[in-house]
Amino acid sequence: MKLSEEIVMVPAPDCEIRTAVIRPVGDGAWPGLLLYTDIFQLTESSLRSARRLAAEGFTVVVPEIYPRGPLAGVALDFDDAGKQLGMEGAKSTTVAQFDSDRVAVLDHMAAHPQVTELFAAGFCIGGHLAFRAAFDPRVAATVCFYPTGLQNGALGADDDAGSLARAADIHGRLMIVFGSQDPHVPADARLQVVAGLYAAGLDDTELHLYQGGEHAFMRDIGVRHDPTLSDLAYASATSFLRGR
């Protein structure tokens, strides 16, 4: 399937959000997938993930998660310096700003004539942001790939965003993907997440735990990448979003 790609600037209350929009070529309408990156922003690796999902029949909308300050417009390198800058970007962004940006992007998607229903997904910190996107009643289904900080609420500048405590606000379908060897979401953290979901009545959440999966095992660069597990996770997520 051929794809079209463009960069648009989505207006938010206090900034503009540089956003990649990748969709199948043609005049048809497609489900819109808000896809959050990891802390490294719009890297070629993240864009390859977006293209892979777009080729399954989605309009994939990938916003920068740090649209304010020195990281606006910057794709970070996958090295120690890039990781440090990404973590600093997170620490300088409040949950209120993340939420405001989410509303702006979803509003933009909802107004697009070639977007039908709305979905959300994300990797790492983006998995946590996707979980919060699920609070929006317009989001029909959400996939969180190894979401960090969900178990204790740690997100950006806030010590506790209270995301898991708001799980009952999710009315769309939810799927979460974990790796068994993820030090950022170890077994006790996964147990906290599942317990919180069940306590909120979300006992039909689809859960995937991939044996041997490390953190960021779906990032197609670096020693942690597992192509086999990535293929399984993409296939499961695509099937889930389509409603099977």
Position 57 pLDDT exceeds 90 = yes
pLDDT given at position 7 = 98
User: Read out DSSP for 25-82?
Assistant: SSS--EEEEEEE--TT-S-HHHHHHHHHHHTTT-EEEEE-S--SGGGTT-PPPSSHHH
- The whole-chain average pLDDT of the chain stands at 97
The Cα–Cα gap between 94 and 163 comes to: 13
**Tens-place pLDDT, residues 19-47:** 999 999 998 899 999 999 999 999 999 99
- With a CB cutoff of 8 Å and minimum separation 6, the contacts of 76 are 39, 40, 41, 43, 82, 83, 85, 86
Q: How confident is the model at residue 87 (pLDDT cuts 50, 70, 90)?
A: very high
pLDDT of residue 244: 80
Strands 15-24, 30-36: parallel, antiparallel or unpaired by DSSP?
A: unpaired
In 3-state terms, the chain is what percent helix, strand and coil (to 5)? 35, 30, 35
Distances (CA, A) of 165 to 137, 196, 229: 17, 7, 30
Neighbours of 66 (CB within 10 A): 29
Return the pLDDT at 53.
98
Of 130, 124, 137, 128, nearest to 170 by C-alpha is 137
CB 198 within 8 A of CB 16: no
Q: Do 105 and 63 meet the contact criterion of CB atoms below 8 Å apart?
A: yes
pLDDT at 90 over 90: yes
| Identity of the amino acid at 103 | V
Is the pTM here over 0.75, yes or no?
Answer: yes
1 has a pLDDT exceeding 90? no
Domain range summary for the chain, segments of one domain joined by +? 3-241
Q: In CATH, what class is 3-241?
A: alpha beta
Percentage of residues in the chain with pLDDT exceeding 90?
Answer: 97
Instruction: State how far the Cα of 202 lies from the Cα of 163, in Å rounded to an integer.
Output: 14
DSSP state, residue 170? -
Give the dihedral of Cα atoms 15, 20, 25, 28; nearest 10 deg: -40
Q: What is the pLDDT of residues 117-163, one digit of tens each?
A: 999 999 999 999 999 999 999 999 999 999 999 999 999 999 999 99
